[in-house]
Amino acid sequence: MSASARILAIGGSDAGISAALRARELDQSAEVIVVLADAYPNFSICGIPYYVSGEVSDWRNLAHRTISDLQTTGLNLRLDTMARHIDAGAHRVTVATSDGLEESIEYHALIIGTGAAPIRPPIAGLDRLGPDHGVHLLHSMEDTFALMQTLQNRDVRRAVIVGAGYIGLEMAEALTTSGLAVTQVEQLPEVLPTVDPSLGALVHAELHRHEVNVLCGTRVDAIQTACPGGSHRLEVRATGPDDQPLHLPADVVLVSVGVRPDTDLAADGGAELGIKGAIAVDRQMRTNLPDVLAAGDCVTTHHPLLGSTYLPLGTTAHKQGRIAGENALGGTREFAGSLGTQVVKVFDLVAARTGLRDSEASAAGFDPVTVASEADDHKAYYPDSHKIAMRYTGDRRNGQLLGVQLVGHLNSEIAKRIDIPATAIHNRMTVDAISDLDLSYTPPLGSPWDALQHGAQAWTRHATAALHVNSP
C-alpha cells in the first residue's frame, strides 16, 4: 500500500485501537483515523466491576492509554462520532457527529471493530424501566456512570443480579463488597455455565459463604416498580425450580446475560454474517467486501479445535485487531485462533477453563473422556496449601488434550496454571505429554509434580484402565 494510505477504524475499544496502533507502528506515514461513538477510547470494560467495588478509585484509570497517549502515536481520534453507512464500492463511510452533522470519510482500507451489545432478555418491564428507575445493563462507560449514580445518589441496600456468568459473578462480588445485600438469579442449573456443574457448584458455595443469595434454575419473568411507600423501589418477579413464584425486592437491578455481535452497520454495508450473526471473516480478518477487515467481538473466531465459532473475549479482540491493522497495509498474517481461555475471580476463589468441555468435544466429533481430580497447589507440609479441583478432557482414540477446567484458591495461581494446558492444546499435545513438561518447583509454590501434572496423570490412568476393560 502507498505511503499515503488512509486507514479507517470504526470502534474505539480493544480491536479498533489495537488495529489502529499496529497500522501506525508499521507505517508512520499512514493516516489512521479512529471513529468511535463515545468519548472513551481504549477503556478496559473488563475492569468496570473493580471500579464499582472501589478497588479502582478513579474511572480514568480504566483507560489502557489516555487520549493524549493515543494522539501522540499519530492516531486521529474522532470522538462522539457515529458511523452511519459503509459504501464499500466507493471506499467511503458516512459518519455523524454529536451535533448531527454528517460527512463522508474516504479510506483505502476499513477495519470494523463495532464489538458486541448486551443481550436484552424477554423480561416484562425491561423495555420501559432503565437507569432512572435503577435497572441497568452494564457494557460501556456510560452504563457504568449511570450505575454509579444510582449507587451513590440513592438509598440502595438490595441488589438483584440477573445472570451468573463472568460479569454477573464479578458484579456480585463488587456490590457485596460495597455493602449491598445481593441476590443472584441464574436460569441454568448452576452458576458459571462455562464450566461443568460440579465446578460451578464450588463457585456457588463461595458466593453463599459471602452471603450472596443464589437462585439457580430460576427464570426472571418481570421487573416492576414497587408499591409507593414500600421499603424498596423495585420488585423482580421470577419462577423457581418447582414453578413456585418468587417476588424479590430490590433497590437496583443489574441484567447481565451475555452479549451479541453488533453487526448492523456491517450487514447494511453488505458484509456477510456467519455463526450467531457475527461478521464472517477469514483468518486474515478480511470480510467479503473489498479492502474491508473486521475484528473483535463483532466477528467470527477461528478455534483450533472447532473451526469457525463465536468467542467474544478481550484477549481475542486485541490479537485480531493487531492482525487486521497489519493486513490493512497489505500484510498476510493469519490469526492463530482462540481456545476460549478464560478466568474469573469470585471473592477468594478463581475458576478457569481452556479448550473444550466433554459435551463440546462430542458435538465437534471427538471421542472425549473427562476425568475429575484434585491436587495441592504446593507441598502440603508448607503452610496454607489449597486443593485445586480439575477436570481434564482428552480424546480416547489418541490421547490428544482437548480441554481443562480448574477451580482453586485465589493464591493458587489458577490464572497462570490454565495457561499451561492452553499452550499444550495450541501445540496439539497429548494429555500424557503434560507430565513431560519441565515445570518449576519449590515447596511454598508447587510440587515436584505440579498439580496440573497430577491431573494429567489421573486422566491417563483412567483412560488406560478404561481401554483395558473395554478391550476384547
Q: What is the pLDDT of residues 428-439, one digit of tens each?
A: 999 999 999 999
The closest alpha carbon to 32, from 63, 60, 1, belongs to: 1
Confidence tier at 465 by pLDDT (50, 70, 90) = confident
According to the model, what pLDDT value does residue 303 have?
97
And the C-alpha cell for 354?
A: 481452556
Q: At residue 3, does pLDDT exceed 90?
A: no
Q: What is the mean pLDDT of residues 104-120?
A: 96
According to the model, what pLDDT value does residue 18 have?
97
Q: At residue 472, does pLDDT exceed 80?
A: no
Q: What is the mean pLDDT of residues 30-35?
A: 97
Q: Say how far apart CA 160 and CA 155 lie, in whole Å.
A: 15
Which residues lie across from 412 on neighbouring strands? none
According to the model, what pLDDT value does residue 4 have?
74
Q: Say how far apart CA 24 and CA 147 lie, in whole Å.
A: 36
CB-CB contact of 183 with 191 (8 Å) = no
Kindly write down the DSSP assignment for every residue of 197-209, as one continuous string: HHHHHHHHHHHHH
- Residue 226, number of CB atoms within 10 A of its CB: 15
Which residues lie across from 109 on neighbouring strands? 7
Asked which of 148-152, 282-286, 437-441, 466-470 is least confident by mean pLDDT, the reply is 466-470
**Residue where the block lists cell 471500579:** 51
Q: At residue 1, does pLDDT exceed 80?
A: no
Confidence tier at 467 by pLDDT (50, 70, 90) = low
Domains and CATH numbers, the chain: 6-117+260-327 (3.50.50.60), 131-255 (3.50.50.60), 348-470 (3.50.50.60)
Tens digits of residue pLDDT in 323-374: 999 999 999 999 999 999 999 999 999 999 999 999 999 999 999 999 999 9
Average pLDDT across the chain, whole number: 95
In three-state secondary structure terms, 180 is coil
Q: Say how far apart CA 110 and CA 88 lie, in whole Å.
A: 9
Which residues lie across from 388 on neighbouring strands? 375
According to the model, what pLDDT value does residue 278 have?
98
Q: At what angle do helices 197-209 and 166-177 cross, to 10 degrees?
A: 10
Confidence tier at 232 by pLDDT (50, 70, 90) = confident
Q: Say how far apart CA 18 and CA 346 lie, in whole Å.
A: 29
8 φ/ψ angles, rounded to the nearest 5 degrees: -115, 125
Tens digits of residue pLDDT in 380-422: 999 999 999 999 999 999 999 999 999 999 999 999 999 999 9
According to the model, what pLDDT value does residue 412 have?
97
According to the model, what pLDDT value does residue 118 have?
95
According to the model, what pLDDT value does residue 229 have?
62
Task: Tell me how long the chain is.
Answer: 472
102-106 and 92-97 strand pairing: antiparallel
- Residue 457, number of CB atoms within 10 A of its CB: 19
* The one-letter amino acid at 447: S
Confidence tier at 231 by pLDDT (50, 70, 90) = low
The closest alpha carbon to 201, from 215, 190, 216, 185, belongs to: 190
Q: What is the mean pLDDT of residues 96-122?
A: 95
And the C-alpha cell for 228?
A: 409507593
